Amino acid sequence: MTTNTTQTTGSATRTAAEPGATGSEPRVMTYSEAIREAIGEAMTADDRVFMLGEDIGVYGGAFGVSGDLYHRFGPERIRDTPISELGIVGAAVGAALAGMRPIVEIQFSDFTCQAMDQIVNQAAKIHFMLGGAAQVPLVLRAPLGSGTGAAAQHSQSLEAWFAHVPGLKVVMPSCAEEVKGLLLAAIDDPNPVVFLEHKLLYRTSGPVPAGSERIPLGSTAVRRTGRDLTIVATGIMVSRCLEAAETLAHEGIDVSVVDPRTLTPLDARPILDDVSRTGRALLVQEAPGHVGYMAEIASRIVESPAIFRLLAPIRRLSGLDAPIPYAPQLETASVPQVDSILEAARTMLKES
Amino acid sequence: MVRLGDDPATARRTLEAMWRIRRFEEAVDDLFARGLMHGTMHLSIGQEASATGACFALRDDDAITSTHRGHGHCIAKGADLERMMAELLAKETGYCRGRGGSMHIADVATGNLGANGIVGGGIPIAAGAGLAYRLQGIDRVVVSFFGDGATNEGAFHEAVNLAAIWKLPVVFVCENNKYGMSFSTEKSMAVETIAERSGGYGLPGVTVDGNDVEAVNEAVTTAVDRARAGDGPTLVEALTYRWKGHSKSDKNLYRTREEISEWRDKDPIGRFEALVVERGVLTATDVEEIRAAATNDVRDAARRANAAPDANPDDLLDAVFATA
């Protein structure tokens, strides 16, 4: 497995651009703009790349991600589709088999349920099932997560489903700085990649490299290194954990924050190393805890020599094992917030 | 339009393909019965004309998507019998190196984008391949094979609609063999024919005698020409019948012996033989030779496949993801 760990210290969580790739200075842009830039660059560089999805044309995408791409690349390559998730994901699978590099946008990751046969039974398995005779290089982009008041059918975090299927790569970019490099790597990849964008991150911004540096899939980032506790977090939880880490630092609790970035393939080494050093692991995800991705991380820790270094039981902080509700106070109470992360960290330190 | 049984060379090729399919599947049936082949399989004996007639309407560089009952499509499109047999016999030399089996044989080199274990699974994939060829500026056409049962799946409706609105170079070939496993078309749909479902999507639909290899070929050729010209997809319904059960577990409780016997009398191969002999295109001796050659080819393929090394489990994990 490729290991390419980004080591940063302090509260600055920024991944330095690969040295020598470009001399251009990063520009501050939003997570959505960075995604759009990646797609535009990939389409300019490679005729095989095209995009299909619902309302991605003149409308500019349900979350405004495709924006002006339709005007730049035209209706053949920025292809508006009917509301037909199974059909369009299937068409992407077929196009990928026939030599193209499709990017499919599904408006809400919840709607992948409509297309699950093509994702799980077709895209994920074709390369293996055919004994390596064919490849399915497609990227399925979909927004996930709660926090928008859209209730139970528009707010799920289904990443563990996809990560459980051999043959799918799964990416959860946690910040504007990295979403471009991760998406470019996903588009390059000869396999189906499920690229899960958190909808609350779309409007967040950060310095995005002007060049086309790729962030390899399967490279965990250590956002911050601390002495007392390792927090592993995915998606939107990464920024919440970093915010909590600042507060904890004022209280004398020094924590690491580690972001796997890609769930499959998982670069576990930096997680195990950090936990071995701090002796404590707090695993934070938005998705319901039961059979969630952080259970996998916990298993990796206890199956490794890191278990001998543990000073406290591993703790998971997850979304409730309940559908996401509508009312704002109910929705907020359903998934980890900065306060609950603080509380969990303090408790772990107090009890060990 | 030139018919498949008009000249000796084409008639011979057509008959060869149908006999190779028949003999391959008989051999597979026999190997299963004798416990020499494991897993499951779905035989298309009795449906050889629809596979052959449709594939013979295609150029070599055109593509197909196939079904769980796909041996015939594969062979008619030009697949190698030995590699197919090796796959079913769990050999490293099989098309899928033993990872796919009967339901996943593909031969990308001959334009076979894959059989499919999911009913309707290949139909959107065919639309996507058609879209790829369009975007690449290549005038290839894709034939998507599926059964009557698949037309009740959402995948069929979504894919046909996409192909219709984008005028994709796809021909949807429904092999209507009357049963989705045990459920008859009379019970599974409230329309008379599958062809008329095309009306809901604005593409032409035709129903042909699926046991008449020339009729299938003529209908699919017309559809392929239309697709290649950029005028969009067509739905061709070929009425046929599988003589064998759905799969190994089938006890034929849902259909009568009389019905099966009636359809055996409509044998698409015997029918084409009689036709070409009557036309004077091939002699009875030619026909006999073609049949014997197919028997030999299948026997040789099975013998060679059987001698090949078994599929190797050592690199299964490395096979999950493509590397470049």
pLDDT tens per residue across span A200-238: 999 999 999 999 999 999 999 999 999 999 999 999 999
Smallest CA–CA separation between B316 and chain A, in Å?
A: 9
pLDDT of residue A1: 36
pLDDT of residue B324: 76
> Chain B 91-120, CB below 8 Å of chain A: which residues?
94-100, 104, 106-108, 113-114, 116-118
- How many helices (H) and strands (E) in chain A? 12, 15
Q: Which run of H or of E encompasses B293?
A: helix B284-307
Q: Tens of pLDDT along B145-180?
A: 999 999 999 999 999 999 999 999 999 999 999 999
* Contact residues on chain A for B94, CB-CB shorter than 8 A: 131
State the pLDDT confidence band at A19, using cuts at 50, 70 and 90.
very low
Asked if the model's pLDDT at residue A21 lies above 80, the reply is no
How big is chain A, counted in residues?
A: 352
- What are the φ and ψ backbone dihedral angles of B91, each rounded to 5 degrees? -105, 155
Compute the mean pLDDT over every residue in chain A, rounded to the nearest whole number.
Answer: 94
Give the separation between CA B216 and CA B53, rounded to whole angstroms.
Answer: 5
How many percent of chain A have pLDDT more than 70?
A: 93
A134 touches chain B (CB under 8 A): yes
B136 touches chain A (CB under 8 A): yes
pLDDT of residue B251: 86
Cα angle for residues B89, B90, B94 (degrees, 5° grid)? 90
Here the tokens at position A62 are 């349900």
The verdict on whether A246 is a catalytic residue reads no
Smallest CA–CA separation between B288 and chain A, in Å?
A: 36
Beta-carbon contacts of residue B258 (< 8 Å; ≥ 6 apart):
none
Here the tokens at position B193 are 């024919």
pLDDT of residue B40: 86
| Residue A74 Rama label (left phi>0; alpha psi -120 to 50; beta) | left
One-letter amino acid for residue A188 of the chain: D
Rg (CA), chain B: 19
Smallest CA–CA separation between B102 and chain A, in Å?
A: 11
**Cβ contact A190–B161 (<8 Å):** no
Which residue in B146, B321, B323 has the most chain A C-beta atoms within 10 A of its own C-beta, making it the best mutation to test that interface?
A: B321
Exposed, middle or buried by CB within 10 Å (0-12, 13-18, 19+), for A211? middle
Compute the mean pLDDT over every residue in chain B, rounded to the nearest whole number.
Answer: 96
Strand boundaries in B23-169, DSSP class E: 63-65, 142-147
Q: What ipTM was reported for this prediction?
A: 0.95
The verdict on whether A154 is a catalytic residue reads yes
- HSE value, Cβ hemisphere, 13 Å, CA-based, for B191: 11
How far separated are the first and last CA of chain B, in Å rounded?
A: 45
Q: Tens of pLDDT along B52-65?
A: 999 999 999 999 99
pLDDT of residue B250: 87
- What are the φ and ψ backbone dihedral angles of A338, each rounded to 5 degrees? -55, -40
Give the separation between CA A226 and CA A338, rounded to whole angstroms.
Answer: 18
- Residue A304: CB atoms within 10 Å: 17
Of B94, B129, B319, the CB nearest to A95: B129
Q: Which of B129, B201, B199, B217 is nearest to B165 (CA)?
A: B201
A166 touches chain B (CB under 8 A): yes
Superfamily name with CATH number, domain B8-309: Thiamin diphosphate (ThDP)-binding fold, Pyr/PP domains (3.40.50.970)
**Cβ contact A90–B106 (<8 Å):** no
Q: Which residue in A33, A37, A54, A85 is the catalytic one?
A: A85
**Cβ contact A121–B118 (<8 Å):** yes
pLDDT (average), residues B14-39 = 96
One-letter amino acid for residue B10 of the chain: T
pLDDT (average), residues A143-166 = 97
User: HEC states along A46-83?
Assistant: CCCEEEEECCCCCCCCCCCCCCCHHHHHHHHHEEECCC
How big is chain B, counted in residues?
A: 324
In whole angstroms, how far apart are CA B142 and each of A95, A238, B65? 12, 46, 8
Cβ B24 vs Cβ B298: under 8 Å = yes
Can you give the residue ranges of every domain in chain B?
8-309
Q: Tens of pLDDT along A93-132?
A: 999 999 999 999 999 999 999 999 999 999 999 999 999 9
pLDDT of residue A25: 86
Give the separation between CA B48 and CA B242, rounded to whole angstroms.
Answer: 9
Q: Which of A125, A196, A317 is nearest to B106 (CA)?
A: A125
Which residue in A1, A46, A86 has the most chain B C-beta atoms within 10 A of its own C-beta, making it the best mutation to test that interface?
A: A86
Asked if the model's pLDDT at residue A32 lies above 80, the reply is yes
Rg (CA), chain A: 20
Here the tokens at position A133 are 């005779």
How far separated are the first and last CA of chain A, in Å rounded?
A: 34
pLDDT of residue A302: 98
pLDDT of residue B110: 86
In whole angstroms, how far apart are CA B155 and each of A60, A159, B54, B83, B145? 26, 24, 21, 30, 13
| Residue B98 Rama label (left phi>0; alpha psi -120 to 50; beta) | left
Cβ A300 vs Cβ A252: under 8 Å = no
Asked if the model's pLDDT at residue B88 lies above 90, the reply is yes
Asked if the model's pLDDT at residue A7 lies above 50, the reply is no
Which one has a higher pLDDT value, B39 or A145?
A145
Cβ B323 vs Cβ A135: under 8 Å = no
Of A76, A81, A122, the CB nearest to B125: A122
> Chain A 79-98, CB below 8 Å of chain B: which residues?
81-82, 84, 86-98
Cα angle for residues A81, A86, A87 (degrees, 5° grid)? 50
Asked if the model's pLDDT at residue A82 lies above 60, the reply is yes
Here the tokens at position A216 are 């390899």
With tokens 């916990």, the residue in question is A298
Beta-carbon contacts of residue A279 (< 8 Å; ≥ 6 apart):
A309, A310, A311, A312, A352
pLDDT of residue B247: 86
Asked if the model's pLDDT at residue A18 lies above 90, the reply is no
Q: Tens of pLDDT along A298-322?
A: 999 999 999 999 999 999 999 999 9
Using DSSP's 3-state secondary structure scheme, residue A11 falls into: coil
**Cβ contact A87–B321 (<8 Å):** no
* Contact residues on chain A for B130, CB-CB shorter than 8 A: 94
A77 touches chain B (CB under 8 A): yes
- Structural domains of chain A in order of their starting residue, each with its CATH number: 26-208 (3.40.50.970), 221-350 (3.40.50.920)
Strand boundaries in chain A, DSSP class E: 6-7, 27-30, 49-53, 78-80, 101-105, 139-144, 169-171, 193-198, 205-208, 221-224, 229-233, 255-259, 262-264, 281-288, 315-319
Give the separation between CA A163 and CA A285, rounded to whole angstroms.
Answer: 14
* Contact residues on chain A for B312, CB-CB shorter than 8 A: none
Q: Tens of pLDDT along B176-234?
A: 999 999 999 999 999 999 999 999 999 999 999 999 999 999 999 999 999 999 999 99
CA torsion through residues B19, B73, B150, B87, sign? positive
State the pLDDT confidence band at A277, using cuts at 50, 70 and 90.
very high
